[in-house]
């Protein structure tokens, strides 16, 4: 007799045993096959840093000290534990070699001791690198394994839109645009600032939605992206495209009216570059990384243009720093996704030319350090900025060097994680070191005027 989902079978155990510690001495043997186990690492949809475990077979033995209601000897029964993605339900306790199953709603805990040999087997199964398995073999939650009706759930619409717009990525883009606005040497206008933030956010959301629309079958092939909105059918493609069209046009209009036409033009250029050039190029040549880096470098230009109305050299230095940053960031990320990229047909440096990948990442970390020294020369920051940012940049370069030398998953992950920390800190340092408007120039102007008036007398 098969059960629909032994999530509730586990409940049966709970109901009868009430968090007893099950020891390996005697009693029932039940085989548990757990479909997927999630650790405390949050699966970051965009960055794929979560680790996933796969199917294991384990045996549960539990102590029966004669007080339970059912007899001591049982026949083997297959049990499957489905673990929901949202909570950490199964944890391996390394010290006592047991594992616990936690039921969040009732806050009950079931501790299972499967004996040292089985525990070692379980651990080795979990540590085996299962990332090479295709998404269909890696279910993370039961919702991935069942048939669902394709109707739009209107209560979750906002959530779907945020996912469609890759909200975390959009947030970072908006942050860099705000930084561009903040560093521009013109007066701070709160309305202009809000408009450029809003406009950039909407435009970026639109670009990401179109990107997801184009890449549905490729996203299904990769573990990192298999749960995207369109892949799962939560929204229809027409819905996604309409969302993209509306948010894109509104965003560009907001930029044009709230900031200035130059900003809107740059925004439109970036939108086109991302959706029409970068997205198809990802599958044709490794040069896509350079195009993608340009896409990432443009938001500070938008912020700057919204503030001053033109693009001074300082804006280009900021954009160049952002451009250089993209390489260690993306190359480190893509290093661990080589099998997925290869199977899905993406042409990335990490797959096609791994040594180039490492070289480029290192090259550009050095480039960032150099560009920070260039910043005071164009008046972007005070001369203190390169000094203050030197430790940060040197550590980033050091991680880049480590990645270049070792080229393994741990060094790439370290580099990637630090890159996420590096750019906000660098931006903060830039803003802190923004040169103040000098009053001397104003006085000297007055002096000139009085002199000329005196001369004319």
Partner 1 sequence: MKNVVRRRYVKNLATNINRLVCLVQIRDAHNQRSNELNIHNIPPPSKKFDLIGPADKKSNLRPVVFHVPHNETSLQCRYRQMRKETHEWNQAFWADHNEKFFKEKEDFVKRKLKEKQLSVEGPEARLSADELSEFYKEFLDKNFVLHANYNREWYKKNLRLLYPAFQVFLEKIYNKVFKR
CA 201 to chain CA centroid, Å, is 16
- Tally of residues, the chain: 457
Q: Which of 94, 127, 153, 408 binds partner 1 (CB under 8 A)?
A: 408
Across 289-299, b (16+ Cβ under 10 Å) vs e yields bbbbbbbbbbb
Shortest Å distance, C-beta 127 to partner 1: 12
From first CA to last CA, the distance across the chain in angstroms is: 110
Using CB under 8 A as the binding rule, the residues of this chain from 152 to 211 that contact partner 1 are none
Contact present, 22 and 113 (Cβ < 8 Å): yes
Angle among Cα 384, 390, 394 to the nearest 5 degrees reads: 175
**Closer residue to partner 1 in complex, CB, 151/438:** 151
Query: DSSP alpha helices (H): ranges in 309-353?
Result: 313-335, 338-344, 349-352
Member of 145, 377, 387, 421 binding partner 1 (CB under 8 A): 145
Stretch that binds partner 1, among 42-50, 69-77, 303-311, 438-446 (CB under 8 A): 69-77
- Binding test (CB under 8 A) with partner 1, winner from 139, 248, 258, 267: 139
The stretch among 108-116, 197-205, 247-255, 406-414 that binds partner 1 (CB under 8 A) is: 406-414
What is the closest distance, in whole angstroms, from the C-beta atom of residue 96 to partner 1 in the complex? 25
Smallest gap from Cβ 111 to partner 1, in A, equals 18
At 176, which helix (H) or strand (E)?
A: helix 167-183
* In the complex, least distance from residue 420 CB atom to partner 1, rounded to whole angstroms: 23
Q: What angle do CA 323, 327, 329 make, to 5 degrees?
A: 110
Q: Which of 11, 51, 53, 32 is nearest to 118 (CA)?
A: 32
Tell me whether residue 217 or residue 379 sits nearer to partner 1 (CB atom). 217
37 binds partner 1 (CB under 8 A): no
Q: How far is the CB of 398 from partner 1 (least distance, A)?
A: 22
Q: Distance (Å, rounded) from C-alpha 314 to C-alpha 378?
A: 6
CB of 209 to partner 1, least distance (A): 13
User: Site for partner 1 (CB under 8 A): which residue of 25, 44, 57, 449?
Assistant: 57
Secondary structure element (H or E) that encloses residue 298, with its range: helix 288-308
Would you give the binding string for partner 1 spanning residues 363-392, x where CB under 8 A is met? ------------------------------
Q: Which of positions 425-444 make contact with partner 1 (CB under 8 A)? A: none
Q: Is 41 helix (H, G, I), strand (E, B) or coil?
A: coil
Q: Which two tokens stand for residue 264?
A: 């809107």
Scan residues 217-256 and list those touching partner 1 (CB under 8 A).
217, 220-221, 226, 231-233, 236-238, 241
Q: Which residues contact 68 (CB under 8 A, 6 or more apart)?
A: 16, 17
- Of 151 and 457, which CB lies nearer to partner 1 in the complex structure? 151
CA dist., res. 204 & res. 210, Å (int)? 10
Closest separation between CB of residue 369 and partner 1, Å? 28
Angle between helices 261-272 and 190-214 (to 10 degrees): 20
Q: Which is nearer to partner 1, 227 or 270 (CB)?
A: 227
Residues 303-362 that bind partner 1 (CB under 8 A): 338-339, 341-343, 345, 347, 350-354
108 or 144, CB closer to partner 1?
Answer: 144
CB of 267 to partner 1, least distance (A): 23
Residues within window 251-290 making contact with partner 1, judged by CB under 8 A: 280, 283-284
Among residues 178 and 209, whose Cβ is nearest to partner 1? 209
What span, in angstroms and rounded, lies between the C-alpha atoms of 455 and 457? Answer: 5
Q: Tell me which of 148, 194, 450, 452 binds partner 1, using CB under 8 A.
A: 148
212: nearest Cα among 188, 186, 195, 233: 233
Nearer to partner 1, 12 or 106 (CB): 12
In the bound state with partner 1, the residue whose beta carbon lies nearer, of 166 and 232, is 232
Please give the residues from 100 up to 129 whose contact with partner 1 meets the rule CB under 8 A. Answer: 125
Binding partner 1 by CB under 8 A: which of 18, 40, 70, 107?
70
Question: What order do you get walking across the sheet with 78-81 strand by strand?
Answer: 56-61, 29-34, 78-81
C-beta of 57 vs 93, nearer to partner 1: 57
Distance CA 331, CA 403 (A): 10
Pick from 21, 63, 77, 157 the residue near partner 1 by CB under 8 A: 77
**DSSP summary character for residue 438:** P
Residue with smaller CB distance to partner 1, 76 or 194? 76
Query: Dihedral of CA 388/393/396/401: which sign?
Result: negative
- The sheet carrying 21-22 orders its strands as 21-22, 108-112, 98-103, 90-93
């Amino acid at each position: 007799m098969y059960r629909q989902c032994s999530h509730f079978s586990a409940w049966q155990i709970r109901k009868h045993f009430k968090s007893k510690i099950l020891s390996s001495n005697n009693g029932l043997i039940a085989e548990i096959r757990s479909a997927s186990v999630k650790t405390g690492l949050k699966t970051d949809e965009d960055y794929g840093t979560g680790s996933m475990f796969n199917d294991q077979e384990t045996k549960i033995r539990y102590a029966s000290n004669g007080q339970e209601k059912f007899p001591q000897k049982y026949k083997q029964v297959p049990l499957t534990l489905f673990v929901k993605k949202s909570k950490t339900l199964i944890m391996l306790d390394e010290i006592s070699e047991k594992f616990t199953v936690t039921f969040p709603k009732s806050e009950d805990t079931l501790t299972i001791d499967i004996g040292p040999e089985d525990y070692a087997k379980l651990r080795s199964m979990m540590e085996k690198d299962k990332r090479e398995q295709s998404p269909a073999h890696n279910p993370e939650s039961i919702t991935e394994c069942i048939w669902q009706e394709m109707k739009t759930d209107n209560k979750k619409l906002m959530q779907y839109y945020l996912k469609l717009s890759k909200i975390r990525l959009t947030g970072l883009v908006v942050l860099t645009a705000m930084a561009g606005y903040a560093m521009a040497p013109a007066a701070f206008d709160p309305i202009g600032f809000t408009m450029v933030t809003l406009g950039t956010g909407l435009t970026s959301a639109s670009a990401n939605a179109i990107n997801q629309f184009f890449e549905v079958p490729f996203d299904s092939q990769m573990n990192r992206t298999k749960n995207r909105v369109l892949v799962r059918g939560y929204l229809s493609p027409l819905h996604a495209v309409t969302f993209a069209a509306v948010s894109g046009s509104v965003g560009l209009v907001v930029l044009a009216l709230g900031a200035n036409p130059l900003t809107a033009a740059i925004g439109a250029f970036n939108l086109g570059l991302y959706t029409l050039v970068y997205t198809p190029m990802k599958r044709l040549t490794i040069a896509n990384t350079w195009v993608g880096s340009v896409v990432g470098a443009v938001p500070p230009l938008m912020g700057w243009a919204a503030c001053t109305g033109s693009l001074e050299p300082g804006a280009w230095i900021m954009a160049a720093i952002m451009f250089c940053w993209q390489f260690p960031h993306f190359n480190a990320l893509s290093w661990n996704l080589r099998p997925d990229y290869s199977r899905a047909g993406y042409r990335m440096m990490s797959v096609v030319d791994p040594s180039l990948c490492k070289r480029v990442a290192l090259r550009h970390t050095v480039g960032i350090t150099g560009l920070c020294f260039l910043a005071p020369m164009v008046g972007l920051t005070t001369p203190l900025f390169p000094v203050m940012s030197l430790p940060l940049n040197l550590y980033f370069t050091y991680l880049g060097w480590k990645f270049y030398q070792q080229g393994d998953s741990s060094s790439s992950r370290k580099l990637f994680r630090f890159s996420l920390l590096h750019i906000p800190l660098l931006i903060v340092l830039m803003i802190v070191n923004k040169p103040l408007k000098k009053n001397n120039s104003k006085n000297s102007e007055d002096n000139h005027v009085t002199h000329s008036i005196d001369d004319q007398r």
